[in-house]
Structure 1
Amino acid sequence: MAISPQVFTPRKRYPSVGSLISSKLSDLKLVQSLLLLAEEISVLKPFQFILKRNSSSIIRKSKLLAILFEEFVSNPNFFFPLTAVLCLEDIYTVLKRIKTLLEHCSNGSKMWLLMKSESVADSFHQLTVQLSTLLDILPLKELDLSEDVKDLVVLMKNQCCNTEAFVDPTDENLRHDLLKLLDWIRREIVPDHSKLAEILEKLSLRDSASCRDEIVRLEHEVHIQIYENWKSEAIALIGLVRYAKCVLFGASNPRSDDRDHFQAMNIPADFRCPITLELMRDPVVVATGQTYDRTSINLWIDSGHNTCPKSGQTLAHTNLFPNLALKNLIAQWCREEKVPYETTENQTSFKATKMMVLFLINKLSVSQSIETANRVVHDLRVLAKTDSDSRACIAEAGAIPLLLRYLGSENPSLQINAVTTILNLSIREANKTRIFETKGVLDGVIGVLGSGATWEAKGNAAATIFSLCAVQSYRKKLGRKIRVITGLAELVKAGPTNSKRDALAAISNLAVEKETVGKLVEGGVVEMALEVTEELAEEAVTILAVVAKRGGAVAVAAGNQVVPKLALVLRDGTDTARERAAAALVSICRRGGTEVVAELAATPGIERVIWELMGMGTVRARRKAATILGILGRQAAGIDGDPTAEYWTNIASSGTNLQI
């Protein structure tokens, strides 16, 4: 909520005079624009709760100005001296600022307006002073105005001559009460609920819906502020409103179309970390060229891994390089979608969250109603999506064992909320251990994966498996469970696209472990991946490449139409898909037997596709393409009487001389 040069963020500057009105406007057009602007301000409603007198006063002055401008407009032949024109242009600028101030205050957060009431009151005062100055220098004697209008202008000048900004004592007392509540929370004292309700009532925050709207407005404040202390204030208020919404108005009522905030916004795939599937805050590039969120990839490396999570390649080094271009794109997207991007720690907000979580957990532990449980679990689900502190509070309060009982619920909405809450909690590394080691929870998630009531529940169960796979020891244990593999494979075969992606990501992570590959082959993963190469080529060929590299090359080579399908991806896929298709072909050509190589050599147009990949593919794709050429050449050279032997030998020879 931008307010004034003192309260607006620097990027919310007032427009210059030249940007507000055209220098070529005639005198008549100028006064018509002034009349229209004054009338637009006049119809705005004064604030009902905070700064009521300030807003009423400036709207009333605009109504009086409209009478002056109306007299100008009613006489098309009115003569304006140059000094009057310059004065009127400046009045237009001031009125534009007044309108902006009123609209921002009306549409912004009520709590934020209350916290900044003194600054906003000063903004109103400064604009009034500017208006008074311009009315003083307006050459009334040179303007042919009626005596009534002249008296009106004199009246306005007298009304504008107040020397101090006015702060309503009622507003100041309410602000003091709000600060006191924040101080209680900061000191971990449970606020007086009656006092909390009184403050919200005075701000017209009377139900869950109005509190949700207030939280959205406060989140916008966090996004637009550049001063850390102001961001911190807004975050503290968000924590307070969330707590108040929970304890005063009860848990939310989930709607049938309710989805997680980020899911509803459809985060671009390139902005998600391949490890957590969350929006990346600090994207970095590893040795293989893949991008991950810094926190996630650091945890991956620190846990003993030396491979790239997405491609399975061995990392030549563990240096991380900031992906500044992607970070700028993500920041721009966040600004457009009004998503807070940079995080600011705030102890008051954290303690308010802690109190709210304890309230919800206590309510859930004694709940006998499915409807009440669904509302509470839904609130935990939303809160667990918010930030790491919230995920820590929820897990430490003992939510995971309570959620277990609802994984097998016959109520589809409750089951979705329960498994999604566990998914959101699993994003935090410490919570992975809690989930894996809490008796019955993992089996409950696997049960949802295999026989969940909805595709959404199954997809989120698959995403939970994917998240847990970030820990190597858990990934090995999950890879030994045939129920996990068959459940993921069935989801890929029959589920909707989003759920298929979640399942494929989990399978790709499981395939990193060599000892798991045999289980994946037994579970039908190779045929499953081949079935979806047209729909989800990049994900499918990644699995084929990893399985082939980790000891399953013979099984991949035996797959139905594997060579033609990989050749098609090699020709028409994305750069990443082509690279991984080439990697898969190298593995199966080396270990799958001469029949595979012969089938690839006989594929129409394959030589052109390989040459194109060597010329325009990624660095790794070029190396793989050169390797394929060598394999084809050696195979052809070793077959007596093969008419293509000389051809492939020459190509292989020229390919090895390329600088790639």
Structure 2
Amino acid sequence: MEDRVQLAQSKIPSLPNSPAKKIPASSDGPYVVVLNLVDRKPIEALVLLMKEIRVYKPPGFPQRRNASASILGIECLTFVFERIQDSIEEDSVSTLPKLAVFCFKEMFSVLKKIRSLLEFCINGSKIASLMLVERTSITFSSFLKELSDLLRYFPWGALGTSVSATSSLQELMDLVKQGCEITGIFIDDADLKLHDTIVFEIEKLERDALFDRGRVEELFNKLSIWSFEARVNEIKMLQEEITTRGKYMTKTTSLIEFGDIASSSSSEIHGLELRHMTQIQRLIESSPQALNAQSRMQ
């Protein structure tokens, strides 16, 4: 597995500060409020964003451990920043020290990226997530490292004695920082096996040029996609991911942004993954159960 991680790392350039992945309409309102708030009351914006993230439920797969570690760390940070919010006289960019404001805004940016990555893993296409399992794991590690670096230089003293004297908060933040530092890159063996199973099915399809409906059923079961509606929804989400990746393939940099995931700069690799996803879509859509579900939902 270490060889696979090193190979995936070699294909990932520096992570871009790309826009956050579109989130469900049900949370658009609060999220927009938080985005508008960060330039006025950065601590309140941080607390609100953390509260949104901490209620996420880690996916059963893939990325369960990485998602759980991220959510747990942010839940602890929520407590810390709620106490800071209660301790300072005024939460305003005009009154807070410039260094603190800078740190808060940078932290907000990292949390947005973690939020987008969690959205991708929890609410996105399972197949797309598995196809990018190695890169997604590396990206989780990278984002947590960014958060750890910011916590290391957090300006306690600049926030006044009421905050800097609170040793318990500093100790809790230090624990979160250490947790982020030791997390490292983790790729679940079960996720890798599912990834390899999907690739095997695609390659077999390309060789045989035939759709094996039994294999489609087995693939759905391995992905824990049981109901007709869930299978149709997986097809739709996979189509969206394919469209997202395809839009960026014409760019001269060949950099495909998958939410906040930075992909390889090799167009050959992109083309292979895109073809794989397209073949998966054809494989799934050939299933009579999926077709039956589509007719029911129309």
Relative to the length of structure 1, the TM-score reads 0.34
Question: Which whole-Å deviations, capped at 9, do the CAs of 1:185-227 have from their partners, x for residues lacking one?
Answer: 1111868776654442232211332221111111112222133
| Structure 1 residues 173 and 256, CA gap change in structure 2 (3 angstroms) | closer
- Structure 1 residue 82 corresponds to structure 2 residue 122: no
Higher-Rg structure is: 1
8 Å CA contact 1:54–1:166 kept in 2: the answer is yes
Q: 2:173 aligns with which of 150, 153, 157?
A: 153
- 1:57 aligns with one of 53, 69, 75: 69
1:237 to 280, 284, 291: 280
The question of whether the paired residues in 2 share the 8 Å contact of 1:211 and 1:242 is answered with: no
**218, 226, 234: which is aligned to 1:206?**
226
**What is residue 167 of structure 1 aligned with on the other side?**
187
* Structure 1 residue identity aligned to 2:122: S
Q: Does 1:34 align with 2:50?
A: no
Indicate the percent of aligned positions where both proteins have the same amino acid. 27
Relative to structure 1, is the Cα distance of residues 155 and 69 closer, same or farther in structure 2, using a 3 angstrom cutoff?
A: same
- Structure 2 segments unaligned to the other structure (5+ residues): 1-11, 21-33, 250-270
Query: Structure 1 69/251 Cα, relative in aligned 2: closer, same or farther at 3 Å?
Result: closer
Task: Name the aligned partner's letter for residue 207 of structure 1.
Answer: S
- The 8 Å contact of residues 151 and 173 in structure 2, kept in 1 or not, is answered as yes
In 2, the alpha carbon distance for the partners of 1:254 and 1:132 equals: 46
The answer for the alignment partner of 1:137 in structure 2 is 153
The answer to whether 1:96 aligns with 2:96 is no
How far did residue 233 of structure 1 move?
2.2
1:116 counterpart = 2:132: yes
Q: Would the aligned equivalents of 1:222 and 1:231 in 2 still touch at CA under 8 Å?
A: yes
DSSP 3-state at the match of 2:144:
helix
Number of aligned residue pairs: give it: 243
SS state of the match for residue 56, structure 2?
Answer: coil
Paired amino acid for 1:133: D
Question: In 2, distance between residues paired with 1:48 and 1:257?
Answer: 26
1:13 corresponds in structure 2 to 18
Distance 1:112 1:70, change over 3 A: same
- Alignment of 1:187 with 2:211, yes or no, is no
1:93 aligned counterpart, secondary structure: helix
Post-superposition Cα deviations, 1:73-115, rounded to whole Å, max 9, x if no partner, equal: 2124168432222111110111111112212332321101001
Letter in 2 for 1:241: I
> Does the C-alpha gap of structure 1 residues 21 and 94 become closer, same or farther in structure 2, counting only changes over 3 Å?
farther
* AA partner of residue 232 (structure 2): R
Amino acid at match of 2:292: S
SS at structure 1 position matched to 2:282 = helix
CA distance in 1, matches of 2:101, 2:239: 42
Report deviation, 1:23: 7.8
- Are the equivalent residues in 2 in contact too, given 1:20–1:93 (CA < 8 A)? no
Q: Deviations over 1:255-313 (max 9, x none)?
A: 5894xxxxxxxxxxxxxxxxxxxxxxxxxxxxxxxxxxxxxxxxxxxxxxxxxxxxxxx
1:140 CA displacement: 2.9
Matched residues in 2 for 1:91 and 1:257: separation?
Answer: 42
CA distance in 2, matches of 1:232, 1:184: 14
Q: Which amino acid aligns with 2:79?
A: I
Contact kept, 8 Å, 2:110 with 2:147, in 1: the verdict is yes
Alignment partner, residue 59 of structure 2:
47
**1:120 to partner: Cα distance:** 1.0
C-alpha deviations, 1:536-557, integer Å up to 9, x for none?
Answer: xxxxxxxxxxxxxxxxxxxxxx
> What is the root-mean-square deviation in Å for CA atoms of aligned residues?
3.1
Change (3 A) 1:254 1:242: closer
Residues 1-55 of structure 1, C-alpha deviations (whole Å, 9 max, x = no match): xxxxx69xx9x9237xxx9556851xxx211111100000001111122100011
Matches within 5 A, 1:131-530: 131-143=147-159, 144-145=163-164, 146-162=166-182, 164-188=184-208, 196-225=216-245, 226-227=248-249, 228-243=271-286, 245-246=287-288, 249=289, 252=292, 258=298
Instruction: Tell me, yes or no, if the aligned pair for 2:131 and 2:195 is still in contact at 8 Å.
Output: yes
- Output one character per residue of 1:383-413: Cα deviation in whole Å (capped at 9) or x when no partner: xxxxxxxxxxxxxxxxxxxxxxxxxxxxxxx
- For 1:118 and 1:172, the matched residues in 2 are separated by 8
Structure 1: give runs of 5+ residues left out of the alignment: 1-5, 259-660
Seen in structure 2, the aligned counterparts of structure 1 residues 35 and 163 have a Cα distance that, compared at 3 Å, is closer
Taking the aligned partners of 2:153 and 2:139, their CA distance within structure 1 comes to 22
Query: AA paired with 2:179?
Result: Q
Tell me the TM-score normalised to structure 2 length.
Answer: 0.71
Give the secondary structure class of the aligned counterpart of 2:208: coil
